[in-house]
Structure 1
Amino acid sequence: YPISNTAVYILDAWMNPAPIGVPGELYIGGDGLAHGYLDRPELNAERFVRNPFSPESGARIFKTGDLVRYRATGEIEFIGRMDNQVKMRGFRVELGEIEAALAEHPSVREVVVVARKDEGDKHLVAYLTAREGRELIVDELRGFLQQKLPDHMVPSVLVPLESMPLTPIGKVDRRALPSTKGFRPNSVKEFAAPGDELELRLARIWEKVLGIDSIGVNDNFFELGGHSLLAVRLFAQIEKLFGKSLPLATLFSAPTVKQLARALRDEGWQMAWSSLVMIQGGNQRPPFFCVHAAGGNVLEYRDLAEAIGPDQPFYGLQAKGLDGKQEPHTTIKQMATHYIAEMRDLQPEGPYLIGGRSSGGTIAFEMACQLSAAGQDVALLALLDTYPAGYFKLLPGSGTLGQRASRYAKKLSSHRDNLRQLGTRAKVGYLRNKLRYAPDKIKHSLYRRAYKIYKRVGRPLPPVLQNIEEINFTAVKDYVPQTYSGNVMLFLASDLTADYDLHDGWRELVAGEIEAHEIPGNHINIIKEPHVGALAEKLRSCLDQAQQNHPVISRAA
């Protein structure tokens, strides 16, 4: 409880009071507040801020940097520090933000997140204690966290503890937290030891990448907390050690050490490259074909396929060049033509069910245009929060200085309106967040220029430019779509990130009807829990309706 004549506030990032049970930052005011740090004007300006809740002019509160929350009893519970920042695989990660997200779970009493470095590889570890009468289930906690944070902020290891080690003054002693060596999540299968040298070396790679010791040959990569970012690191290590490059989609068919070892030995496996990847099999219903987003791989569609239902065949179309051997396609039209050819190997005739998220929707749109031009019927074109690429090129005055100036003016006006609604501290956070992406935009711009030079002179792209994500960004930027004569199902994230209404943008490119569905979430997490269920329900309904309207759909061979 606060001491006499002291005011305390638990506030969110926008200086709003946090509800009971919801973590926020602790601010202190009142008669006992110090005047400031001696000869530290910059630190004083950062830590001693205007009190927005006091009617007195000049009243201040102190920003402690402590992450806390109110209990229902009125007590204040300390959770951790807000200023613990680490760099993970190129991303700056606030450990306090992860702790705050985990602290919202009803079973979690205390949580501490640290960055561990084993054998030169850094990974995140979360230590947790349970509330009285509650049990900490690792899979449930990981799923809960994946709903709230991007993959690079989800700890690879979650360790339940009976109690936190404390310092003599009662704070968590981070240096005394137990090592994760030998730790196995309580959700994985019974340990099965490697049977040969290959399995042993693969298991060691898995342990390094996932930050978990004693991985058995039958443990599932995804059940251990694996995701697309970790899959990229895993396969990079495999290629470095064995000199073999496997597509990321191999993890769908070989999610265990034993199965992956079999893939490397080519024992009964056909590892010839294919853009077509079976994510979920079956032959009772016509298949749905879903095109990759900018990253090129289709691992992100795993949850969506499961949520739609086990009876719905679901195929991903991954980017050519992911194997590191073939040169990637560099235009949307090339990609669409190639994916149609692979799709028709499985299903020779339409009607077809196709879609894609983000830039994958752009490619699916071009596929639909090409299929229609070839006399093939597209029963469903599902665009999952896809920006209508090339839209501005179709507008009067496109490409002119005036057109670009108009777009920038619209962006600046939007930012100005947002800033007007924020306090001083929140304004700084808003600007910092926007400026964070400026270097990437500069990098993409430089890449596009280099790419166009090689394309103009007809030379193959050098390895340094054969980056799938950059190539796809450039391809989308350069794509000029034609008008599509059919209908479109548009699935829009409720947290819009585009500069204008996506529905309005697609109206300029679609001659048929557009049916829009709003999905809770943002551009990234609409295909993740907890939002993927809502998306799957509506997409399943659209798939059912398409089959009723086109009963002659042929099943895949």
Structure 2
Amino acid sequence: MWTRVLDLEEVGIEDDFMELGGDSLAANELLTLVGEKLGVSLPSSALVDSPTLGAFARTVSLAQQAGPRHPTVVPLRTTGSRPPLFCFAGAGALALGFHSLARRLGDDQPVYAFQAHGLERRGFPDWSVEKTARRHLEIIRIIAPRGPYLLAGHSLGGLIAMEIAQQLAAAGDEVGFLSIMDTYMPSSLRITPGEEDGAAPAADTANGAGAPVTPGGAQEHARTYRHRLTRFTQRLLPEQRANFTNIATLKKMVQIPLTGVVQFGGMEQFDVFFNHGRLLERFYRPQPWAGRTLVYRSAENPDSEDAWSAFLTGSHDTHYVPCEHFYLLREPHVIKISEHFQAEIDRVVAEQAARR
């Protein structure tokens, strides 16, 4: 199974999945194969805890005795004296994708990565960037009750990280730095004012962008979900309007409202959450951010080099990474990124120590 998903002829028992070129997509395919061939359901964190072939084989053997894992957060490293780094995966991507970055940051750096609710276990998904941010922030505050907070997001995760930074700042908390990693400008910025009206249901408006989530139980979830189902038939992704009769488009329309509620097989699960994420970014309008920010752009990024400058009013650096969008977090590209992150975290730690 490892040789298949990694496209290798052979793998040694002590070989490491990530070091062999494994990424979020390969991990997803591997876990699907394990489920189909061996009847064992494993979370993506299994590859964090058991990164070598031998260790992973033992994990599979003991899977029936394994305890439940958190559905949205994967602890990539829990030890270390430095402020934790919180990472946010893109649409459809597993939190495991940040594993190589976490390993490059050293043993003293705690790292936690987040993925979409419902991606690996059934559950009502979040239908806005703001709600996704609030869900993750509840967990972040348990892990780290106080700042400074270190945030990084890849692709759609960059918008989520930016929104979490805004919510933290609004609550008076310190954000040490934010990193937007090959996050494209949201298409919401191209929606006309007429289209924007009614973009969010009444339940969202009542809560507000930065308000805490109020426990409404199953009825509130179901009401919001029904509202989204109805609105989805009226609001399509821009490119779908011209392809309404296309079979692939119609399939996409049917699947997206079922995101998280129905578990699709293999890469189809990634596709469904990827399209769900595109809806989230379409309706999100970022606000100016005055904190320290690192911006990364891949060779596939369609935006202008200074596209984010209008929203980043504080100190920010933009770095070009010569790779494809999904390869940004892979070796060897992650080496330079980890060096930048270490320098920023060193700065945050020094400033924190100077205030004591």
Preserved CA contact (<8 Å) 1:444 1:470:
no
| 1:365–1:325 Cα change, 3 Å | same
Q: Which residue of 1 aligns with 2:217?
A: none
| 1:239–1:249 Cα change, 3 Å | same
Q: Which residue of 1 aligns with 2:318?
A: 517
Superposition deviation, residue 345 in structure 1:
2.0
Q: Which residue of 2 aligns with 1:478?
A: 283
SS of 1:302 mapped into structure 2? helix
Match of 2:170 among 373, 376, 389: 373
Return the alpha-carbon distance in structure 1 between the equivalents of residues 19 and 332 of structure 2.
Answer: 17
Superposition deviation, residue 502 in structure 1:
5.2
Cα distance per residue 1:500-540 (max 9 Å; x no partner)? 42534451x34x41412323314344433333222222222
Return the alpha-carbon distance in structure 1 between the equivalents of residues 52 and 140 of structure 2.
Answer: 28
Return the alpha-carbon distance in structure 2 between the equivalents of residues 213 and 460 of structure 1.
Answer: 35
Q: Which residue of 2 aligns with 1:250?
A: 46
2:26 maps to 1:230: yes
Q: Which residue of 2 aligns with 1:531?
A: 333
Match of 2:74 among 277, 280, 301: 277
Cα distance per residue 1:129-172 (max 9 Å; x no partner)? xxxxxxxxxxxxxxxxxxxxxxxxxxxxxxxxxxxxxxxxxxxx
Q: Which residue of 2 aligns with 1:501?
A: 304
SS of 1:334 mapped into structure 2? helix
After TM superposition, the score normalised by the length of structure 1 is 0.47
| 1:263–1:271 Cα change, 3 Å | farther
Return the alpha-carbon distance in structure 2 between the equivalents of residues 525 and 223 of structure 1.
Answer: 14
Q: Which residue of 1 aligns with 2:204?
A: none
Preserved CA contact (<8 Å) 1:281 1:314:
yes
SS of 1:277 mapped into structure 2? strand
Q: Which amino acid aligns with 1:544?
A: D
Superposition deviation, residue 266 in structure 1:
4.6
Return the alpha-carbon distance in structure 1 between the equivalents of residues 91 and 17 of structure 2.
Answer: 23
Return the alpha-carbon distance in structure 2 between the equivalents of residues 340 and 379 of structure 1.
Answer: 15
SS of 2:127 mapped into structure 1? coil
Return the alpha-carbon distance in structure 2 between the equivalents of residues 355 and 299 of structure 1.
Answer: 14
Preserved CA contact (<8 Å) 1:288 1:354:
yes
Please state which structure has a larger fraction of its residues in helix. Answer: 2
Please state which structure has a larger fraction of its residues in strand. Answer: 1
2:287 maps to 1:490: no
Return the alpha-carbon distance in structure 2 between the equivalents of residues 329 and 469 of structure 1.
Answer: 13
Return the alpha-carbon distance in structure 1 between the equivalents of residues 248 and 346 of structure 2.
Answer: 40
2:55 maps to 1:259: yes
SS of 2:319 mapped into structure 1? strand
Report 1:445-460 matches (<5 A): 446=250, 449-450=253-254, 454=257
Superposition deviation, residue 324 in structure 1:
3.8
Unaligned ranges ≥5, structure 1: 1-204, 401-437
After TM superposition, the score normalised by the length of structure 2 is 0.70
| 1:250–1:528 Cα change, 3 Å | same
2:119 maps to 1:322: yes
| 1:493–1:208 Cα change, 3 Å | closer
Preserved CA contact (<8 Å) 1:379 1:550:
no
Cα distance per residue 1:5-61 (max 9 Å; x no partner)? xxxxxxxxxxxxxxxxxxxxxxxxxxxxxxxxxxxxxxxxxxxxxxxxxxxxxxxxx
Q: Which amino acid aligns with 2:139?
A: E
Aligned-CA RMSD value:
3.8
Return the alpha-carbon distance in structure 1 between the equivalents of residues 328 and 133 of structure 2.
Answer: 24
Q: Which amino acid aligns with 2:318?
A: H
| 1:489–1:446 Cα change, 3 Å | farther
Superposition deviation, residue 391 in structure 1:
5.4
Superposition deviation, residue 236 in structure 1:
1.0
SS of 2:306 mapped into structure 1? helix
Return the alpha-carbon distance in structure 2 between the equivalents of residues 297 and 484 of structure 1.
Answer: 28
| 1:549–1:476 Cα change, 3 Å | same
Cα distance per residue 1:396-431 (max 9 Å; x no partner)? 78879xxxxxxxxxxxxxxxxxxxxxxxxxxxxxxx
Match of 2:144 among 341, 347, 367: 347
Return the alpha-carbon distance in structure 1 between the equivalents of residues 54 and 108 of structure 2.
Answer: 27
| 1:484–1:212 Cα change, 3 Å | closer
Q: Which has the higher contact order (CA 8 A, sep 6+)?
A: 2
Cα distance per residue 1:418-461 (max 9 Å; x no partner)? xxxxxxxxxxxxxxxxxxxx99xx78865675478x59xxx985
Q: Which amino acid aligns with 2:163?
A: E
Report 1:36-47 matches (<5 A): none
Return the alpha-carbon distance in structure 2 between the equivalents of residues 272 and 253 of structure 1.
Answer: 12
| 1:242–1:541 Cα change, 3 Å | same
Preserved CA contact (<8 Å) 1:520 1:534:
no
Return the alpha-carbon distance in structure 2 between the equivalents of residues 256 and 292 of structure 1.
Answer: 23
Return the alpha-carbon distance in structure 2 between the equivalents of residues 355 and 377 of structure 1.
Answer: 15
Q: Which residue of 2 aligns with 1:240?
A: 36
Superposition deviation, residue 238 in structure 1:
1.5
Preserved CA contact (<8 Å) 1:248 1:299:
yes
Q: Which residue of 2 aligns with 1:304?
A: 101
Match of 2:345 among 543, 547, 554: 543
Superposition deviation, residue 493 in structure 1:
2.4
| 1:234–1:385 Cα change, 3 Å | closer
Superposition deviation, residue 281 in structure 1:
4.0
Q: Which amino acid aligns with 1:332?
A: V
Return the alpha-carbon distance in structure 1 between the equivalents of residues 63 and 355 of structure 2.
Answer: 35
Superposition deviation, residue 314 in structure 1:
2.0
Return the alpha-carbon distance in structure 1 between the equivalents of residues 67 and 6 of structure 2.
Answer: 27
Return the alpha-carbon distance in structure 2 between the equivalents of residues 227 and 388 of structure 1.
Answer: 24
Superposition deviation, residue 350 in structure 1:
1.9
Q: Which residue of 2 aligns with 1:469?
A: 274
